[in-house]
Structure 1
Amino acid sequence: MATFLDFEKPIAELQARIDELRETAAEGTVDIDAEVGRLQAKSDKLLRDTYARLTPWQKTQVARHGERPHFKHYVAGLFEDFLPLAGDRAFGDDQAILGGFATFRGRRVLVIGHEKGDDTASRLRHNFGMGKPEGYRKAIRLMQLADRFGLPVVTLVDTSGAFPGVQAEERGQAEAIARSTEMCLALGVPMVAAIVGEGGSGGAIALAAANRVLMFEHAIYSVISPEAGASILWRTSDKAAEMAEAMKVTAQDLKGLGVIDTIVPEPLGGAQRDPATAIAALGDAIDAALSNLDGQSSADLRRSRRAKFLAMGRI
């Protein structure tokens, strides 16, 4: 059964009514097809209208929806022969950031991404997708391997931000994020990043300084979470909706600002309602981006990547 967000309450009520009618019909001989059809059409129209005018804060809620596809689902749906690689060869293995070699539509690639988990046990195991220094150092190690073997790098970004704990700071969180970002920019192979849910702070950019940055239409990408930004500016997280509007966190805003390159369409009602269609759409977008980068020299890839990020914010 689908989990509805707060702003989807009218849709949830209609869907509950439809379910009740179907249960009633199953128990007797009453023909309620016409009424169910009428209510379903009304529900579908309300869903279309609602998602056509989502506010940045509502998009933030959609991006965080627990039923959206996660890294493991994208790997299962898009990649073959996935060979996971673990550890940073210095401290340990971080389960918030996963990666390895794989085959994507006939080409060998290296895929790295954040894994949030989809139930309580897995969310704790993956630390809710918040990477620690060893996770970013693992990403660096894997990108170095890709560079050595001439393999394109695909990253799937979905994190509220890097883990802010004391132990992570003691192990050099800021340095690890900076080195990972530096490695992205130094790659001599094509790199495509996709913001599939939340793209939060340095924890996101450390895996997203790519030649092409894709973003789902209801994903978000920002330097800080709306709640944290509101807490800094207004001393309360109650103004998170205002902060989300001010920060321009949506794919539509960021495309206009030149921060991302491509908006990937989602099924009606978000990727959580039809994960298979969302995964396929992302696969097509990644394939197109990689094909566009084919044949470019290492020097050209580095030069264009550098120029892309230096141009951001210029007037």
Structure 2
Amino acid sequence: MTDSTWLTAGVFAQRARLSPKALRLYAENGLLVPEKWDPQSGYRLYASEQLRDARLIRMLRRAGMPMRSVAELMQAPREQRDSHIAAWWSRAVAEFNDRRTVVEHLSQVITGGKDSYTMFPVTTRRVPTQTLLTEQDYVDVARLSDWIVQAGLRQLAAAAAVGGQTAASIVIYHGDVSEDSDGPVESAVPIDPGRAIEATLPTRVEPAHHEAFVTISRAQIRYPDILSAYDAVEAWITRSDLTQTGPPREYYFADPSTGPEDEPVAHIAFPVSGPADS
């Protein structure tokens, strides 16, 4: 490679149609690093062969690809880059569809379509003391569904060895889970307290308490429709002048992934102070 193949950062940015700021950002993130540095002048020098990658990065960023995904793509062999782009685009379309669903849900709530929560009648009950197989982790919304499934499978296998599951599986949200928050979340399966000592997974005792809850169908469990069920219970607790005494939870008494859309599959519940059993 001769000296004529080397370009200063300014010339390289101009030929790649990048701003100096963007070029520095790409270097700082390891996407496009100068091939060498001239110690006498202090100039960062790029090889002309890097122009192809610079233009590719610019187009990927224009398409909306996150910096981390661009870095992964640039580290891949050239013959694999097309599959990286296809995989990222598939995820991007799915994320856009999720956001569109959320916006449609918000529009219905704002315009009054779901604001009355009449589709979610709230009931109360007393839940007895339970011994639970338990697993807790910090999980963001992108990992939540898969984590719930995997944790549940581990717990069901462990429960089978001590007489089986004795009540509905539970997912307890000890903190908010969203794009910006990661819980923590607890997955729990009730078991026979007399055999807890034999369990291969951690256990704990959940004290008896009262709950306000709604029943939701397989169709209603999908995000973001499930949020309306949470809102319904919280609004009812406020109207009833009760106090929430524990984290919200979901009880799954049927498989949420398969079956008729209108079949009841879960309860959305909040522990509350002292209502009468119903």
Q: Which of the two has higher C-alpha Rg?
A: 2
Q: TM-score range by the shorter chain?
A: under 0.3
Using the size of structure 1 for normalisation, the TM-score is: 0.18
Using the size of structure 2 for normalisation, the TM-score is: 0.20
- Greater share of residues in strand: 2
